[in-house]
A and B are shown apart, each in its own frame.
Chain A
């Protein structure tokens, strides 16, 4: 008897035809005489496939619900009439199934014959050759003859659609199995595809018979992956042919952490196919992960180390040894002259855990100070602070899959369908099943109005009023007696709760009294609070709209208060879920990137904790916190901070108040930048160390669910070294020895020193696929759901969150509030996506504004608009949009030339200095030319690119003469 319950036994490379059933009731049946026991609700097709009896199929795929349209999978079942489709027939106890006999064989051949009578017979020159399910099934059923001929009416001349930059649509090859249509609706949730017409006229139609590019298609590629023929096919496969081997690795874009099979020909990636075994994405992906990988081999990649004495000089290409010794000498020289604390570094949330760990180790051990920080400073540092204070751990509480158990979901300041698209799709799936949705966002994000999703409440709060809003939510819950008294009594500190209850019950927090601050109608907010508090399982998902405020930390604590008060912590379907921006922002925080914490959030001032690190590292560690990124800039301008090592982060573009940042960078005596491109920051650098892309290295990334995923090298590093090897070499050049042979050795050291990582190692990762920390003796396989029994601090802590208005408010001079964010096709500073065809969707940043604000200013769609704040001024084109509320404008920061961050200010979160990107008071006026800053930027950029060109043209000193 064969029994399959253990997910470890699932072969992720095999298509079982229909999705797994989660039922705990087991049913035993017989297929071709083989006895099989499977969960109730499993299809006959899947049951057979589990026993390796593979029924031919065309319209079935195990990531889609059974459809039963192709009839190729027909079987005979003893005691039943006819030949039912095995994909739509659930198993029954005692069922006896026959999958092959002459009658079924003939039936299948007849069906195939009809298909093939309207299908081109160009198999040898077809891009799907070698990977075509139609061809396979024709072979399986033994099709030898097409009696109908090919002269009748057919679709062989159907017009191709090449509009999408990444895939082609060739309807002549289409068998109308609807897999693409179903993938678009069931998996992606966009509903861009439909079958138009009936019978013979049926055809796949993007939008309303539009091109793919003009339709609502978001280019996630789920349809391409679902297509059994070459109707929807990656252009890279059309050009290069079928890949010959593949390696499973983890995407380097957002914090979802999708796993992919990098399908290769030699050392060239032909396509990325989302891996079904990926525990965060289960075989789905977005346009960035699946298609936008071409940047990795873009001609702008810099593959040779370079140095220069001053930023007004051309670069000089040098050997690794020269570059590293140049950097080491300069940094040591600075320390000698200005003191130990005069240098520091920035770890990357784009690089691996192992690389991040090494950079902070280099800073603490070789530089001898704690001046280390990471870009989490400018995105999720308030999450760390807020969740640690209230729940005891600086991380989200759930798995992504947990959302499938939520009955109500509140999304605050996050835009998952753009910024975390694969999670967005899963969330939409749950919402289509009926979970209630509350969105708190100044803008009407796509989620608010998406197909078959009903938003119960869209709370259009004013930027800057978050804490007033969350306090009002909590006030309603306490006021109306909706709190979970048992949970509070059992799981939370009594004294802190009492203080908080007294605070939050004050009438000034009521939605009626805060309406004038938040702009949310009181009745609307009360309705939302009731839904959140009374749902069996309610989950909060939040993003940078929560953290990037002067009260970011207070808002995170307010969210945690709400979850504690309603008992929505410690099981599936609930929780507090920060949606992390970058692939490894969770990991970079875990790895001790912050100036006050060693890896595992262990405070530098704790003598016992420090001693543990000192023993392993063989150095004395400073017991005082170091400088954070904004403090580094201030200190640089004051002349006390002179040297910096910056790995894989573009602070010159991503950090707020660009003028201030650039002035600080100019004042450095030695800036060492390690990156794959000459990014904006590198234009201010003295040493450039070429980095390696995620395809060129081994390591791990940790996603927003605390999930540690393996990153596997699929091609050699273009510059010869992986990033961790460069950091190690720099450390050795500075006299602090590091001798790791492989990132797994670095992970072993991390596990040794970090109590939440004790049982993490590469062998375990291979075995389990991925691990959610904490993973130690108490939780040997990791921890999918946090705080089930208790909190790391014992009891949950209610924090008092007083609303303090930001200093950044609209005035007569700056009457609008600017908020910034990102969109689906581009990624953050755009260094990667701007170097791909994703440019076709968004080749410049625009200022979105409400029609009323535009009319008041005489601004038309497409006009150039000057946007001025107290920090600076830039110019972008206007896009008039009713997604905005009057008085609020929005832009993205994907293109350096648009200078979005010239306008943002140096206001920041009170607890963590996370910049207040989401609130800048601005004025917008119609203009005709770029801003002064932009003109200066263009000049400077030209000059720096010229310096780069000079380095590269000097080239082969040997072969030259």
Chain B
């Protein structure tokens, strides 16, 4: 078992966050990111990124962290 998927997931979550940080309201931004993850990510992907946040989470951008935490 490697961590190819996790590396990708962290990158993807951060990218989604970076593309939704124009509102100026962190809560609203995190909600947009969370909605995106809910709507487009597979169950296993969501579980993996959540697990990562709980165990470490250091590589996630603040908005991404907030979004993942709310899943």
B19 and A913 contacting across the interface, CB-CB below 8 Å: no
Other-chain contact of B1, A638, A802, A906 (Cβ < 8 Å) = A638
Q: Binary interface profile of A, 795-816, with partner B (CB < 8 Å = 1, else 0)?
A: 0000010101000000000000
Give the chain B neighbours of A257 by CB distance below 8 A: none
- Interface hits, B19-55 → A, CB 8 Å: 19, 21-23, 36, 38-45
B36 and A911 contacting across the interface, CB-CB below 8 Å: yes
Could you tell me the distance in whole angstroms from the C-beta of A565 to the nearest C-beta in chain B? Answer: 18
A647 in the interface (beta carbon within 8 A): no
For the complex, what is the distance from the CA of A911 to the CA of B8, rounded to whole Å?
A: 13
Chain A interface secondary structure, helix, strand, loop or mixed?
A: loop
A626 in the interface (beta carbon within 8 A): yes
Chain B interface secondary structure, helix, strand, loop or mixed?
A: helix
Give the chain B neighbours of A872 by CB distance below 8 A: none
A554 in the interface (beta carbon within 8 A): yes
B19 and A804 contacting across the interface, CB-CB below 8 Å: yes
A551 and B44 contacting across the interface, CB-CB below 8 Å: no
Other-chain contact of B16, A371, A626, A800, A911 (Cβ < 8 Å) = A911
For the complex, what is the distance from the CA of A551 to the CA of B8, rounded to whole Å?
A: 17
- A350-358, A537-545, A627-635 - the one binding chain B: A627-635
A550 in the interface (beta carbon within 8 A): yes
Q: Chain A: interface residue count, which band?
A: 20 to 34
Could you tell me the distance in whole angstroms from the C-beta of A39 to the nearest C-beta in chain B? Answer: 51
B45 and A627 contacting across the interface, CB-CB below 8 Å: yes
A618 in the interface (beta carbon within 8 A): no
B5 in the interface (beta carbon within 8 A): yes
A247 in the interface (beta carbon within 8 A): no
B70 in the interface (beta carbon within 8 A): no
Q: Binary interface profile of A, 550-565, with partner B (CB < 8 Å = 1, else 0)?
A: 1100100000000000
B21 and A635 contacting across the interface, CB-CB below 8 Å: no
A596 in the interface (beta carbon within 8 A): yes
| Known contacts A631-B45, A634-B4, A913-B12; A554/B40 CB under 8 A | no
A624 and B39 contacting across the interface, CB-CB below 8 Å: no
Give the chain B neighbours of A640 by CB distance below 8 A: 5, 44
A762 in the interface (beta carbon within 8 A): no
Could you tell me the distance in whole angstroms from the C-beta of A936 to the nearest C-beta in chain B? Answer: 21
A617 in the interface (beta carbon within 8 A): no
Give the chain A neighbours of B44 by CB distance below 8 A: 341, 627, 635, 640
Other-chain contact of B42, A550, A595, A906 (Cβ < 8 Å) = A595
For the complex, what is the distance from the CA of A626 to the CA of B40, rounded to whole Å?
A: 8
Q: Chain B: interface residue count, which band?
A: 20 to 34
Could you tell me the distance in whole angstroms from the C-beta of B61 to the nearest C-beta in chain A? Answer: 12
The residue on A at minimum CB distance from B22 is A802
Residue of B3, B15, B41 contacting most chain A CB atoms (<10 Å): B15
For the complex, what is the distance from the CA of A607 to the CA of B12, rounded to whole Å?
A: 27
The residue on B at minimum CB distance from A664 is B4
B18 in the interface (beta carbon within 8 A): yes
A910 and B2 contacting across the interface, CB-CB below 8 Å: no
Give the chain A neighbours of B15 by CB distance below 8 A: 550, 804, 910
| Known contacts A596-B39, A596-B40, A910-B15; A631/B5 CB under 8 A | yes
Other-chain contact of B5, A370, A635, A800, A911 (Cβ < 8 Å) = A635
- Interface hits, A614-659 → B, CB 8 Å: 624-628, 630-631, 633-635, 637-640
For the complex, what is the distance from the CA of A627 to the CA of B41, rounded to whole Å?
A: 7
Give the chain B neighbours of A550 by CB distance below 8 A: 15
For the complex, what is the distance from the CA of A253 to the CA of B55, rounded to whole Å?
A: 49
Could you tell me the distance in whole angstroms from the C-beta of A380 to the nearest C-beta in chain B? Answer: 16
What are 14 A-B contacts defined by CB distance under 8 Å? A341-B43, A370-B42, A554-B19, A595-B42, A624-B43, A627-B42, A630-B8, A631-B5, A631-B8, A637-B2, A637-B5, A638-B4, A639-B2, A800-B23
**Residues in A lying within 8 Å of B, measured CB to CB:** 341, 370-371, 503, 550-551, 554, 595-596, 603, 605, 624-628, 630-631, 633-635, 637-640, 800, 802, 804, 906, 908, 910-913
Given contacts A605-B38, A640-B44, 10 further A-B contacts (CB under 8 A): A341-B44, A370-B42, A371-B42, A595-B42, A625-B43, A631-B8, A634-B4, A638-B4, A804-B15, A908-B12
